[in-house]
Structure 1
């Protein structure tokens, strides 16, 4: 006979790094996560083990075999299964008392209000190229005063930005309004990681194709993102510890054993960002020309 679940016992080893009162605070909080793939799925499971008591999760996709290298819910037993269903089951296996609101159609303008209802924190788990959905969610969080964290798995590291009611907004920082898809990709990538630490050890540059919306990824980066995001979530939800908010950001790269903190006042308008974007546009143009030369597009 299985023993009954006991919340206090299940998360008792958190006590010491958080107080018992703080653990109960975490239990009473709701986090919204859009995207249950590479980072979103492991965000959910990591935060569930922190004892967060409620989640709103969204994803319209199903697991495919190409997800196996990095996505927490991708296994032979879940092939073809909706990601939201698989991750919800895994979260309930950690904490049967967790309050889950599932959005299997993903997040859109018609579901944003319900998705963000009673939410204390938003964690970005959307696909890198899901710009329309990402902009809509971050704008809604800004209007509602909900802090939001995005952690990008880049190479074998993580690049982190925190947007809060008293910081720059997502749109002010990245400046994606009126941009085409290529420009959005460049601005998002360079805004996340001005230091571009991951570039130094890329083994096969041909696998990075912003124009085709493709790029390599690793589970190491996804897990680093989840650990870092969980700590930022803890600080934001408990109101203690230093949080570096946009236009501050930071990137940790495990391969290079480097931590780089960045400050970009003005966001995309910053002179250093403008130079980086100009160089990025030149590189993207060269990549397109190479692709045409080899018959890839």
Structure 2
């Protein structure tokens, strides 16, 4: 470890040599290499986090560049994780960035989280956030989640030892903001990604000293009482320069339900019942040729048309409305449910 590289960090009483050793021993998972993931990754690599697993199946496009400033015009068409790993190696050769160009779904999530002390949710996608929250809560991993749209956004630290994301937000909002539809400014995601990096560093520095931060010891580990409680949600509005925070340590976990699987398109089987919950004017593309169309607002009154016996796969562009529809069907007794995002 180069002390000259980290001299300004080592000078901080909260860090010092012992703290820097904790950072070097840490393994983190970042899901998403876009507007949130890029600044979070950059600051964590700069800080000397030992091993960062970076997961995203998206490729670089010209419309990314106004906010994902790690990438250049020459990088278009390449996987974001591959370009990010290459550029992070040039920033700090002491850090391992492990690029994985896959979509995070139910079938691979535990493997991707495996061996990582905590998870940064930079996907900015409700379906992914709920999947991460449910899994991190089960595996006792801290989850640092953020979301942005327009001039606003939030960042929070959930799950072990805090309540889960689902405890604070039991279901997705009926009309959530979207960067694609509502737009976003680069500085907004930059601030939130930096806050995620800061939250991760604070969590790591609070852990007991050891040669490596082993996820297996999380359940019995005692946190430094001087460290702010993880159950905090920070809201920002960079247009009005308004910052606020709420504490949700008393949020009640919802009753445990059977998890709703999140699928990739190649995991669909011929026996699955496909239900597209988008509005009629959204069906032009992309679409699934054999999907039945039942808009989200009609699910509650038309659920009787859907067979119970076989798996029902609900789909929409981002997965948010599919998640809401799946929960509505679960309340009607459906047990074989799954979600598919069409933007994969």
| Partner SS, residue 46 of structure 1 | helix
The answer as to 2:29 corresponding to 1:16 is no
Q: Normalising by the residue count of structure 2, what TM-score does the alignment of the two structures yield?
A: 0.62
Structure 2 unmatched runs, 5+: 207-223, 255-278, 283-344
Higher relative contact order (CA 8 A, sep 6+): 1
The superposition leaves residues 86-112 of structure 1 with CA deviations (integer Å, 9 ceiling, x where unpaired) of: 111111111223223322012122221
- Check the 8 A contact 1:34/1:58 in 2, yes or no: yes
Q: Provide the residue aligned with 2:98 in structure 1.
A: 101
Residue pair 1:157, 1:225 contacting (<8 A) in 2 also: no
How far is 1:232 from its partner? 1.2
5 Å-filtered alignment, 1:55-204, equals: 55-126=52-123, 128=124, 130-156=125-151, 158-176=153-171, 183=174, 185-186=175-176
Give secondary structure in 2 for the equivalent of 1:9.
Answer: coil
SS in 2 for 1:8: coil
The aligned residue for residue 196 of structure 2 is 229
Q: Distance in 2 between matches of 1:117 and 1:161?
A: 22
Relative distance call for 1:16 and 1:45 in structure 2 (3 A) is same
Shift of 1:22: 0.5
- Residue 115 of structure 2 aligns to a residue whose secondary structure is coil
Taking the aligned partners of 2:151 and 2:47, their CA distance within structure 1 comes to: 24
Provide the C-alpha distance between the structure 1 equivalents of 2:129 and 2:81, rounded to a whole number of angstroms.
18
CA contact (8 A) 2:41 2:197 kept: no
Q: 1:243 to 1:158 in 2, by over 3 A?
A: farther
Contact kept in structure 1, 2:151 and 2:238, CA below 8 Å = yes
Number of residues of Structure 1 aligned to a counterpart in Structure 2: 236
Classify the secondary structure of the residue corresponding to 2:228.
coil
Deviations 1:251-272 (A, max 9, x none): 2334323221224654799xxx
Indicate the SS of the match to 1:225. helix
Residue 73 to residue 106, structure 1, CA distance change in 2 (3 Å): farther
Partner of residue 260, structure 1: 244
Cα distance in 2 for partners of 1:14, 1:158 equals 28
Secondary structure at the counterpart of residue 118 of structure 1: coil
Measure the CA separation in 1 of the matches of 2:163 and 2:86: 36
> 1:156 deviation in Å?
4.0
In structure 2, how many angstroms separate the alpha carbons of the residues matched to 1:51 and 1:38? 21
Aligned-residue offset at 1:117: 1.4
- Give the structure with the higher percent helix: 1
1:245 and 2:240 equivalent?
no
The structure with more radius of gyration:
2
The 1:28/1:90 distance shift into structure 2, 3 A limit, reads same
- Asked if 1 retains the 8 angstrom alpha-carbon contact of 2:55 and 2:101, the reply is yes
CA contact (8 A) 2:129 2:145 kept: no
RMSD over aligned CA atoms reads: 2.7
After TM superposition, give the deviation of residue 243 of structure 1 in Å.
2.9
Question: How many Å separate the matches in 2 of 1:47 and 1:75?
Answer: 21
